[in-house]
Amino acid sequence: AQSVTQPDIHITVSEGASLELRCNYSYGATPYLFWYVQSPGQGLQLLLKYFSGDTLVQGIKGFEAEFKRSQSSFNLRKPSVHWSDAAEYFCAVGAIRGGADGLTFGKGTHLIIQP
């Protein structure tokens, strides 16, 4: 069964500093990987996705993620965070195994921005 691990429950970063959120997945074949962001009281917004090809993926709001097959990782990065980036971030993996599988989500990382 596929699984996603986000090792950091909370991360605190100063505004203007760089950010890296970790995501490790377990899946037997090439995964389809996603990062979603959830602002307080809001739904999930897709930041970026990886299906195939270039392992460095660019997303919205200045985020990027790098797929590393050898490390089973898909870490999210941003060179300079803004106060508005404070939110919950979810990594997810999907597959076409039976054609209809839902996404498997990590438990999330809560990002706090210090002024």
Residue numbers of the site for other proteins (CB under 8 A)? 4, 9, 32, 34, 36, 42-44, 46, 49, 51, 90, 92, 94-96, 99-100, 102-103, 105-108
Q: What are the distances in angstroms from CA 64 to CA 13, 29, 30, 57, 100? A: 17, 23, 19, 5, 27
Number of neighbouring beta carbons within 10 Å of residue 103: 17
Answer left, alpha or beta for residue 85, where phi above 0 means left and psi between -120 and 50 means alpha: alpha
In the complex with other proteins, the residue whose CB is nearer, 63 or 90, is: 90
In the complex with other proteins, the residue whose CB is nearer, 15 or 72, is: 72
CB of residue 17 to other proteins, shortest distance in Å? 26
CB of residue 82 to other proteins, shortest distance in Å? 23
In the complex with other proteins, the residue whose CB is nearer, 82 or 107, is: 107
CB of residue 114 to other proteins, shortest distance in Å? 23
